[in-house]
Chains A and B, each alone.
Chain A
Amino acid sequence: MPHIRLRDLEIRYGKNTALRGINVDIPDGQLTAIIGPSGCGKTTLLKSINRLLDLYEEVQVRGEVQIDGANIYDPKADVLELRKKVGFMPQRPFPLPMSIYDNIAFGPRMHGITGEQIRVRIQQLKSQHLVEAVVGPAMSGAAPGSPMDLLVEHYLRLAGLWDEVRDRLREPAAKLSVGQQQRLALARALAVEPDVILADEPTSALDPISAKLIEKQFRLLKATYTIVVVTHVLRQARRIADYVMFMYLGELIEHGPAQQVLTAPRDERTKAYVSGEIS
């Protein structure tokens, strides 16, 4: 069963209906792109998946968002556990007001991770072979690093940021460039071990080279994590998506494998959007 299933999802802001009749199973271990013109409900859909919509007032949700079979809008649902499982990257990265190192260690620490748990996790991470084995500066030198050092290094490597920051881990994260901050946000989200990563136009504030780096990491990570990316850049969807959901005026018009939706869409509106007639 896929991690994320949406059933008859309808979302309203006050009197305005932002989303209606959304039914879809988002495939695991793939990168799903939500595309569509501005204001079509892409971001609302994305934020409904880990209840970030709770931040806004007067939001009404009907229907179900099921994560691993459980409806997250059930009053008894554990929102904290849910959000741990479903990570989020906002459009503009926000470095937490602390060092680069602490930005990564923050999540695990808040969840009270123990040294032993970290060691177990590092073994798991190593077995995924996503990045080369961790031999941190602390490990290669005489003094062995703390387990947390290894964990931080590992997630920075997963986000493709390690080589740029290895010598300045104690500097404030705000000193990084926006592109680096966005990869830091990725590493920070990964550090609480989610199954799913949601990203809301993660490259829209970035220069093309930084954007490429993010896309590269997504391609690397999608085998292990289910990734859902909102994008308004059609070319980006073509580059990275395995599965595509096309939204228009609050409705999910078409969804399917990227190849099919982007090259042979069935619906007229999708055709118009993919061919650039509407944007």
Chain B
Amino acid sequence: MGRAWGEMGTRVIHSLRARSRQDRVVAWVLRIALASVNVLTVLIAVGLLLKSMPILRTQSLGKLLLSSTWKPLQSQFGLLPFLSGTIATTVLAMLLAVPVCLLSAVYLAEYARSRVRNWIAPVIDLLAGIPSVVYGLWGVLVIVPAVRVLGKALGYSTTGYSLLAGATILGIMVAPIIISICTEVLRAVPTEARETALALGLTRWEVTRHVVLCSSRRGILAAVVLGFARAAGETMAVLMVVGNVPRVPSSLFAPAYPLPALIANNYGEMMSIPMYDSALMMAAFVLLVVVALFNLAARLALLRFARDEQ
């Protein structure tokens, strides 16, 4: 009997030792997995920067970013049309998408019955999975003519291939992700919050507005940031409807030319032009910086919210 206990004791200790070793191994695997993703980001940034060094040596950064003359044959690589195209399409897309998405999410989280929610959620996920070239085709077939009609009605001469068409397509494309994250965020607000506020004699909308939305602003901001990053980097669908004229867009109905479209349209062609390759790399780097800056701004806002709440 005593011996049996002893054996069992050794076995337990032995397996404990093995298990804690396993625990350490797993911790390292997790660390390496995380590190490799981060290292990759840094490698991409460094790679792009190195590749854009040649052009940065010959022309000043200020000139590259602020000049709107894009004439590669004359070695003029002003990125302003593309930079402004990216910012304009993305910001406009968010302006179009966020209010609608937020209201949809409020409906799904606060008002809809669970049957409706269970039916809608997969449809929204499906929307998120549609390839961007399909959105692009649909944009050419539907959005571009619609924008043309609208533009004509408002007195602009436009082909329809425009900033507004690009932003609309982008807005539609980022909607599913913003809606589903916002819905989750709103549903994560504890029931007690709603009970507390309802019991003060507030209407459902007052509860949503003053309590549920206020408590979820951090999560909502995070959803917007994800949507923004996705919109800023989206290439194919925008490229197909935005017009691709290298000029700073003068109105909603004027064509634009965002950075991703520039790179996708030109990389691999006309590479014999000196500095062309480097200019496109520079464009990619600028795109990365724009998205990073926006993320940074959002992070600062989150910190501020956290400070307000703590």
Contacts and interface: CB of A to CB of B under 8 A. Distances in A.
B252 to A, nearest CB: 36
Nearest to B202: A110
B195 A88 contact: yes
A192 B198 CA distance: 12
Interface in B201-222: 201-203, 206, 210-211, 214-215
A174 to B, nearest CB: 5
Contacts of B211: 96-97
Nearest to A174: B309
Given A55-B191, A110-B206, A110-B210, A94 B196 contact: yes
Interface in A42-95: 47, 50, 52, 55, 57, 80-81, 83-84, 86-88, 90-94
B61 to A, nearest CB: 42
B210 A172 contact: no
B194 A80 contact: no
B199 A97 contact: no
A50 B199 contact: yes
Contacts of B36: none
Contact of A57 (B114, B202, B203, B210): B114
Contact of A106 (B194, B198, B200, B203): B200
A192 B196 CA distance: 12
Interface in A152-167: none
Contact of A94 (B193, B203, B310): B193
Contacts, number: 77
Contacts of B198: 52, 55, 83, 88
A188 interface: yes
B201 A81 contact: yes
A189 to B, nearest CB: 7
Nearest to B211: A96
Chain B contact residues: over half helix, strand or loop, or mixed? helix
A111 interface: yes
A252 interface: no
A91 B192 contact: yes
Nearest to B196: A94
B2 interface: no
A175 B199 contact: no
- A: contact size bracket: 20 to 34
A50 B198 CA distance: 10
A42 to B, nearest CB: 15
A80 B201 CA distance: 5
Contacts of A185: 196
A98 interface: yes
B115 to A, nearest CB: 9
A83 B197 CA distance: 10
A188 B200 contact: yes
A21 interface: no
B192 A83 contact: no
Given A55-B195, A110-B206, A83 B214 contact: no
A112 to B, nearest CB: 11
B192 A93 contact: yes
A169 to B, nearest CB: 16
A111 B200 CA distance: 9
B29 to A, nearest CB: 37
B308 interface: yes
A97 B200 contact: no
A62 B113 CA distance: 21
A270 B304 CA distance: 54
Contacts of A107: 200-201
16 contacts: A50-B199, A52-B198, A55-B191, A57-B114, A80-B201, A80-B202, A80-B203, A86-B199, A91-B192, A94-B193, A96-B210, A96-B214, A97-B214, A107-B201, A110-B202, A174-B309
Given A91-B192, A97-B214, A107-B200, 14 more contacts: A52-B198, A52-B199, A55-B198, A57-B113, A86-B199, A88-B198, A96-B210, A97-B215, A106-B200, A110-B200, A110-B201, A172-B310, A192-B200, A192-B201
